[in-house]
Amino acid sequence: MILLTGASGFVGQAILAALEQRCSIRVALRNPDSVSPRSCLDVREAFIQPGQDWAGILEGISGIVHCAARVHVMREHAIDTLSEFRVVNVEGTLCLARQAAQSGVRRFVFISSIGVNGGETHGKPFTIDSEVAPHTPYAVSKSEAETELRRLASESGMEVVIVRPPLVYGPNAPGNFSSLMKWLTSGVPLPLGGVTRNKRSFVYLENLVDLIVTCIDHTAAANKTFLVSDDEDLSTAELLRRMGSALGRPARLLPVPPRLLRLGASLIGKPDIAQRLCGSLQVDISHTKDVLGWRPPFSVDEGLKRTAEAYLASRKVA
Number of Cβ within a 10 Å radius of residue 50:
13
> How far is it, in rounded angstroms, from Cα 220 to Cα 262?
43
> How far is it, in rounded angstroms, from Cα 90 to Cα 84?
10
Residue type for 53, please?
D
Kind of pairing, strands 2-5 and 25-29?
parallel
Residues 6+ apart with CB under 8 A from 234: 199, 200, 202, 242, 300
Give yes or no: 138 in active site.
yes
The CA-CA-CA angle for residues 194, 231, 126, to 5°, reads 80
Query: Judging by beta carbons within 10 Å of its beta carbon (0-12, 13-18, 19+), is residue 58 exposed, middle or buried?
Result: buried
SS3 per residue for 266-305: HHCCCHHHHHHHHCEECECCHHHHHHHCCCCCCCHHHHHH
DSSP-derived letter for residue 211 is H
Residues with catalytic annotation? 138
